[in-house]
Every structure is written in C-alpha cells, then in structure tokens.
C-alpha cells in the first residue's frame, strides 16, 4: 500500500508500481487458498494500483469490491481502511463532497468498533466530521460488532 500511495503522490513512479504489482500477484495467489484473509487485501491493492495509473472508474469499483469482501469476512479493520482509501480517492478525483464524507464517516465508525479511536479521531479532525450520537450495531460476515459512543 505504501509503495502504491507513493507512486500516486509522485506521478506513477515505475519502481513503486512494479513493487505494488508484484505484491498484488502474491496476494492473488494467497487468496486462492484463503480468500477470507487475503481477498479484500488483494482488491484494495488493485484499487490503489488502478488509481495510480489514473484508471479512476476501475479503482472505484475495486475499492467497493474490497469493502464488500472485508464486510463479508468480518475484517473490520480492513473495512475501515478501505472506506478511508475510497474517501481519499473520491476527494482526489471529484473533490470533497457528500460521497467522500460518507466514506470517512464509515471509516471512523469501523475504526472505533475495532478499537482504533485515535485513527477515528484523526479522520474526524482532518475532515471536520462530527461524531455520530447513536450506537449502531452492524452485521459483519457471521459475527456482530457493536459500536459504543462515549
């Protein structure tokens, strides 16, 4: 992820793109044996790779697929990260708006459910988001996760 992020920031650095492509190939192989562990990671890397190449529509679909896979398999921390990266992508391609803010809000919610309150607060501060006032229960894969407000 870091190599692909840096490739986006530095106008598609070839060495970083190559590193990202190699990791995608590894994750695709690993996904064949453990889709529940590596499937959403592979999709998220593919999304970042596509975004690095300027393939924005493809990237958005891959981010959404990664979100679905993370949710289906109960990978709450990766669900948060995928929402955050989709929000970043939407900001970069369309400017900040309702869609990107919704992604950031969901990222905050999932980070908090995972116990990463600092990550949630960082996003809320960076994008001037308000903390939701209610407790929500969501269904992830086969297990329930509850978010508690303090």
pTM score: 0.77
Tell me the C-alpha distance between 128 and 113, whole Å.
20
Say if residue 46's pLDDT is above 70.
yes
Cβ distance 43 to 69 under 8 Å?
A: yes
Confidence band, pLDDT 50/70/90 cuts, at residue 55: very high
| pLDDT of 20 above 80 | no
3-state secondary structure labels for all residues of 70-113: HHHCCCHHHHHHHHHHHHHHHHHHHCCCHHHHHHHHHHHHHHHH
Tens of pLDDT, residue by residue over 77-129, are 999 999 999 999 999 999 999 999 999 999 999 999 999 999 999 999 999 98
What pLDDT is stored for residue 6 in this prediction?
54
Least confident among 34-38, 64-68, 126-130: 34-38
Q: What is the mean pLDDT of residues 45-51?
A: 91
């Amino acid at each position: 992820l870091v190599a692909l992020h840096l490739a986006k920031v530095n106008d598609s650095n070839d060495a970083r793109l190559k590193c990202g492509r190699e990791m995608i190939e590894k994750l695709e192989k690993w996904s064949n044996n453990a889709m529940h562990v590596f499937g959403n990671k592979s999709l998220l890397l593919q999304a970042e790779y596509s975004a690095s190449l300027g393939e924005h529509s493809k990237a958005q679909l891959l981010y959404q697929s990664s979100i679905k896979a993370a949710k289906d398999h109960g990978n709450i921390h990766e669900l948060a990260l995928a929402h955050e990266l989709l929000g970043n992508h939407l900001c970069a391609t369309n400017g900040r708006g309702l869609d990107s803010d919704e992604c950031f809000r969901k990222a905050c919610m999932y980070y908090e459910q995972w116990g990463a309150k600092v990550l949630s607060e960082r996003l809320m501060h960076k994008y001037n988001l308000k903390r939701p006032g209610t407790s929500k229960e969501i269904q992830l894969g086969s297990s329930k996760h509850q978010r508690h407000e303090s």
